[in-house]
Amino acid sequence: MKTYIYRGGFPIVEKSGVGKAIEHQEKMLNAVEAPRAARWKEATVVHMNTVFPDSVIAAFIAKMQKKKVIYYGHSTMEDFKNSFIGSNLAAPIFKKWICFCYNLGDVVVTPTEYSRKLLEGYGLKRKIYSITNGVDTEFFKPDPEGRIRFRAKYQLTEEQKVVISVGHLIGRKGILDFLELARMMPKVQFIWFGGGNENLVTAEIKEAISKKPDNVLFAGFVKSDELRDAYCGADVFSFMSYEETEGIVVLEALACEIPTIVRNIPVYEGWLEDEKQVYKAETIKEFQEKITAIFSRDVRLMKKEERKIACNKSLGKVGERLLRLYFEIACK
């Protein structure tokens, strides 16, 4: 039984969570030495990750060739909203489209129980499994040298308090709240990693960025090793996103043991506990209060819990779960 991961449209999603998930799937299968098909026609199981037209055609062809199709449900209507110009108006149409795409699979895989329940509520005709996107714990891990590199690159003293976040420049990711939080904490350096298509960024966000406070730096997209250094070198990872299907960057931050604050939203229920692996907040004021508390708190015990939950979602462990799924659907 051989697996083929369809990479059509990868250049479009390469810098997104979907792109990272595709890379993770390849590493997972390598970690468990799962047989891989070099060519489409050799495959028994085909992974589909995007909802572009070419993926739909590819899924149809795979079905015609009697291959088993695993369609990954990375996207929902909920996380499509508040993403770019016109996304809210297009959201109902997008929902119908992804339902059509996902129903092309023999099964659907989505990262969390939260996203599984969302997709079940859409009335999909396929069985839906929740399997984490995982995190590369061999790459993302605490590194004192990374802290030194990070602070040298951004000319930060060892005493300077630094808060970072990672994501596209879209409303859903909490960029406007991040800027307001920075205004409330002028003595703290705030750095946002990630960018986006300027033509799709809303006017509101463009204006807010143009009027950013002096203690905010937009670093843009950086390579994985630079992002790892940031996780290791900053004091707090503040992820203010309003909607996620999982949040791979959260797993990366936990793996690097940086104190992490997330918004108290349903996706984290059942696997991230407030004051144990992460801190949770709802309002900007609560984020400020939790960050201030972290600066003066001993977080060594929490760091161990962070790393523990990340290791439970390591690529090797998730790869073993995928193998079990392959055998399960191959027998049907």
* Mean predicted confidence (pLDDT) in 148-168: 97
Q: Are 109 and 70 in contact (CB under 8 A)?
A: yes
Q: How confident is the model at residue 99 (pLDDT cuts 50, 70, 90)?
A: very high
| pLDDT, position 11 | 84
Q: Which pTM value belongs to this model?
A: 0.95
Q: Do β-strands 279-281 and 260-263 pair in parallel, antiparallel, or remain unpaired?
A: parallel
* Mean predicted confidence (pLDDT) in 187-211: 92
Q: How confident is the model at residue 69 (pLDDT cuts 50, 70, 90)?
A: very high
**Which residues are CB-neighbours of 121 under 8 A, at least 6 positions away?**
none
Q: How confident is the model at residue 140 (pLDDT cuts 50, 70, 90)?
A: very high
> Among the residues of 235-330, which ranges form H helices?
248-255, 284-295, 300-311, 315-330
Q: How confident is the model at residue 141 (pLDDT cuts 50, 70, 90)?
A: very high
Q: How far apart are CA 264 and CA 274, in angstroms?
A: 9
Q: Are 175 and 169 in contact (CB under 8 A)?
A: yes
| pLDDT, position 12 | 86
pLDDT at 104 over 80: yes
Q: How confident is the model at residue 302 (pLDDT cuts 50, 70, 90)?
A: confident
Region for 174 from its dihedrals, namely left if φ exceeds 0, alpha if ψ lies in -120 to 50, beta otherwise: left
- Tell whether domain 144-311 is in CATH 3.40.50.2000: yes
> What would the two tokens of residue 234 be?
């900053």
Q: How far apart are CA 318 and CA 31, in angstroms?
A: 10
**Which residues are CB-neighbours of 188 under 8 A, at least 6 positions away?**
161, 162, 163, 182, 215, 291
Q: Which of 139, 94, 121, 157 is nearest to 255 (CA)?
A: 139
Helix axes 17-31, 248-255, angle to 10 degrees: 60
In tens, the pLDDT along 14-66 reads 888 899 999 999 999 999 998 899 888 889 999 999 999 999 999 999 999 99
**Residue 300 burial (CB count, 10 A):** 8
| pLDDT, position 198 | 82
pLDDT at 332 over 70: no
Of 2-11, 86-95, 253-262, which range is least confident?
2-11
| pLDDT, position 163 | 98
Equal fold, 3-134+314-330 vs 144-311: yes
Q: How confident is the model at residue 201 (pLDDT cuts 50, 70, 90)?
A: confident
Q: Is 157 exposed, middle or buried (0-12, 13-18, 19+ CB in 10 A)?
A: exposed
Q: Are 251 and 189 in contact (CB under 8 A)?
A: no
| pLDDT, position 64 | 92
The domain spans of the chain are 3-134+314-330, 144-311
| pLDDT, position 1 | 82
Beta bridge partners of 128: 108
Fold of 3-134+314-330: Rossmann fold (3.40.50)
Mean pLDDT of the chain: 94
pLDDT at 90 over 90: yes
Q: By three-state DSSP, how is residue 70 classified?
A: strand
